[in-house]
Amino acid sequence: MRTLNLGILAHVDAGKTSLIERLLFAAGVIDKIGSVDDGNTQTDTMALERQRGITIKAAVVSFVVGDVTVNLIDMPGHPDFIAEVERVLNVLDGAILVVSAVEGVQAQTRVLMRALQRLRIPTLIFVNKIDRRGAQSDGVLEAIKARLTPAVLAMGETASEGERDAEFRPFGANEADFRAALIECLSEGDDALLTDYVTDPAGVDATRLHDTLRAQSRTSIVHPVFFGSAVTGAGIEPLMAAIPELLHAEIGDDDGPVSASVFKIERGWAGDKIAYARMFSGTIHLRDRVLVNGRDSRVTAIQVFEGGKSNTAMTVGAGRIAKLSGLGDIRIGDTIGVPPPRQSSHHFAPPTLETSVLPAHAADRAALWLALSQLAEQDPLINLRKNDEAQQVFVSLYGEVQKQVIQQTLLAEFNIEIAFQESTVICVERLAGSGAAVEYLFKDPNPFLATVGLRVDPMPAGSGVSFALEVDPGQMPAGFYRAVEEAVRETLQQGIYGWRVMDCHVAMTDVRHASPMTTAGDFRNLTPLVLAEALRQAGTLVCEPIQRFHLEAPAATLGAILRILGRAGAVTESTEIGGTMARLEGEIQAAHVHGVQHQLPGLTSGEGIFETTFDHYRPVSSPIPTRPRSGPNPFDRQVYLHRVQRKLAVSSDEGD
């Protein structure tokens, strides 16, 4: 049986989790539809998810449609938990993007659609809530074309919209208007179809149009749009039928080399790690030894998803999603076996806020670090770090809701009470120019048995960090070069002002070792000093995150809103007034977003909506913000060498 790994994505409150309940009910997996309000849905299993009525962690549930097993993955809609979506995208075969017929295309909807298009993930669009007062399916369809993609095709029409008995009627293949829309939409991606239609309109029959629609949908050229209601069940049957028909489910190669990607980590009842992995090829058997990023581990338990549950299994084959136990050092993003066709990569902006976590009781300081370390396994983007001198622990955040969830999770799961300091904006550093430095073996002030030369060059925004050798790789053991690259990437996490250095290329320009006395540790400890000097030569610019905002509020409050935005330093690029509502779009510094959000409800009597998404980084004018450092500081040579040498002395004593 073929397997389809299907993601359900939406802006928060579009009805995503309710749609999942309805799909499971239609597939016969459950005999009663759960409610988000009642906290009894299948995929929102965390106590906090049930309490808040939002999805926080990705969840997997399986059902069968025709000859296809669908592993359905529910992902968070709230922007504070976009990191959870980030981890799942690389394992999807297809997606359903849910849009509300009332609220329409929202900020997060656009962020998600851009990511799906970037990865060319075949996507169906479901316009939900056609039974709700204020539903406007025609207007939403036009907004989808204007704000998401013009390559969409309505697969039917609604009746009694805005009423409890609202229905969705699929178009027939031979209906003239639908046929014309099909030809117009599909011919954009198929020149032969357009040529044949112009030559002989009658010769392009319904079968060919259907086959072309299926092919273009499965290759993410066209996105079919369905309408309905997750609450009443309207439109669910046509959507269910479209899943195996318009999305591509492959039969994987069970006999190929093992290749899997880990997208989620959770802890079992005994504290053991359980890895959620998508199998791209091969078969894993119970007790098999597998390579995890080059490390050898044994699989001690396998669970696969079937009939709405996870069941114990002896094997898991290509295309499936499994829960694997026994892989003690496993991390999110790890590869099992050979690299999968889609390597883990970032599709969304990193967190833009950081806060210090303080235990309510000093005695809980060590327990807090351990608990946060476990949370970081499940969400690596919280970027857990520690300032040893000030005894402070920091986590990165997407928003204030995420802060509340961390606080409640620590109390509920670890019995640790905490408080947060005020969130601060996470800046980055970019190179102002190029720089180079070198320290030579047996030459002061270099105390290490190694020569390292490095050059740093700025790269365009979005390029990331790259490392290359401009020396003969055969001069040293490969492990020494790995030690240099690892140290480079670690050092770039804290630049001159303590912020992460982005978008640069680092080249190794000189190297020497004293065999057999030199160790990888010599290169690992010297590299930060050389790189720090190269960064000083280049200079860095501290840049702050800039958000794009979309604001809707009563038109009568427009003047007051513009004054608030002006005081926040926002730049309003467009203003539209339609009826009684005003809509504004523009840019605002991330540091001022919370202030606007705090003032808006009182100013608009609760009717204002302020949505933001990360847009770009912009150089900060003085004063230049700095960030508390963690670990040895290579920009202070004397202190760095003292700490490193003290650490080496301690390690030597322990070895004795």
Query: Per residue in 59-113, pLDDT tens?
Result: 888 899 988 999 998 877 666 666 677 778 888 999 999 999 999 988 778 888 8
- Whether pLDDT at 34 is above 70: no
Whether 104 and 148 map to the same domain: the answer is: yes
Residue with tokens 């400890």: 525
**464 inside domain:** yes
Looking at 215, 246, 277, the residue that finishes a domain is 246
Sorting pLDDT into bands at 50, 70 and 90, what band is 620? Answer: very high
Paired tokens of 415: 């019995």
Whether 409 and 452 map to the same domain: the answer is: no
**Rounded-to-integer distance, Cα 584 and Cα 555, Å:** 11
Predicted confidence at residue 81, as pLDDT, reads 66
Predicted confidence at residue 343, as pLDDT, reads 60
- CATH number at 65 reads 3.40.50.300
Predicted confidence at residue 348, as pLDDT, reads 59
- Whether pLDDT at 45 is above 50: no
- Whether pLDDT at 294 is above 80: no
Paired tokens of 223: 């996105």
Q: Decide: pTM greater than 0.85.
A: no
Domain count, the chain: 5
**Rounded-to-integer distance, Cα 443 and Cα 447, Å:** 8
Sorting pLDDT into bands at 50, 70 and 90, what band is 390? Answer: low
Taking residues 270-291, what's their average pLDDT? 91
**345 inside domain:** no
Percent of the chain topping pLDDT 70: 92
**615 inside domain:** yes
Residue with tokens 């907004």: 143
Whether residue 623 is preceded by a cis peptide bond, meaning omega within 30 degrees of 0, is yes
Whether 420 and 433 map to the same domain: the answer is: no
Taking residues 241-245, what's their average pLDDT? 95
**149 inside domain:** yes
Q: What tens digit of pLDDT does each residue of 582-599 get?
A: 989 999 998 898 889 889
Whether 51 and 185 map to the same domain: the answer is: yes
Query: Crossing angle for the helix pair 558-567 and 593-604, nearest 10 degrees?
Result: 160
Looking at 246, 278, 309, the residue that finishes a domain is 246
Residue-level length of the chain: 656
- CATH number at 599 reads 3.30.70.240
Sorting pLDDT into bands at 50, 70 and 90, what band is 13? Answer: confident
Looking at 426, 454, 482, the residue that finishes a domain is 426
Whether 383 and 405 map to the same domain: the answer is: yes
Q: Which parts of 511-636 fold into alpha helices (H)?
A: 520-538, 558-567, 593-604
- Whether pLDDT at 406 is above 50: yes
Sorting pLDDT into bands at 50, 70 and 90, what band is 345? Answer: low
Q: What angle do CA 146, 150, 155 make, to 5 degrees?
A: 110
Whether 460 and 486 map to the same domain: the answer is: yes
Whether 220 and 102 map to the same domain: the answer is: yes
**Rounded-to-integer distance, Cα 489 and Cα 487, Å:** 6
- CATH number at 311 reads 2.40.30.10
Whether 466 and 590 map to the same domain: the answer is: no
Q: What tens digit of pLDDT does each residue of 525-562 get?
A: 999 999 999 999 999 999 999 988 889 889 999 999 99
Predicted confidence at residue 249, as pLDDT, reads 82
**209 inside domain:** yes
**36 inside domain:** yes
- Whether pLDDT at 35 is above 70: no
Q: What tens digit of pLDDT does each residue of 122-157 get?
A: 999 999 999 999 999 999 999 999 889 999 999 999
Q: In what order do the strands lie in the sheet with 335-337?
A: 295-298, 289-292, 335-337, 259-267, 273-281, 321-325, 301-306, 309-313
**Beta strand ranges found along 211-326 (DSSP E):** 223-227, 259-267, 273-281, 284-285, 289-292, 295-298, 301-306, 309-313, 315-316, 321-325
Percent of the chain topping pLDDT 90: 55
**88 inside domain:** yes
Whether 534 and 569 map to the same domain: the answer is: no
Whether 84 and 201 map to the same domain: the answer is: yes
Contact 378, 264 (CB under 8 A): yes
- Domain containing 192: what range? 2-246
**501 inside domain:** yes
Sorting pLDDT into bands at 50, 70 and 90, what band is 44? Answer: very low
Whether 593 and 643 map to the same domain: the answer is: no
Predicted confidence at residue 656, as pLDDT, reads 45
Query: For strand 500-502 and strand 504-513, is the pairing parallel, antiparallel, or unpaired?
Result: unpaired
Whether 312 and 367 map to the same domain: the answer is: no
Paired tokens of 111: 């962020």
Q: What tens digit of pLDDT does each residue of 172-212 get?
A: 988 999 999 999 999 998 899 989 888 888 888 999 999 99
Predicted confidence at residue 55, as pLDDT, reads 54
**Phi-psi category of 32—alpha, beta or left, where left has phi over 0 and alpha has psi -120 to 50?**
beta
First and final CA of the chain: distance in angstroms? 59
Name the average pLDDT for the chain: 88
Chain centroid, CA 326 distance in Å? 26
In one-letter notation, the amino acid at residue 639 is V
Burial class (CB in 10 A: 0-12, 13-18, 19+), 651: exposed
Burial class (CB in 10 A: 0-12, 13-18, 19+), 64: middle
How much helix, strand and coil, in percent to the nearest 5, is found in the chain?
A: 35, 30, 35
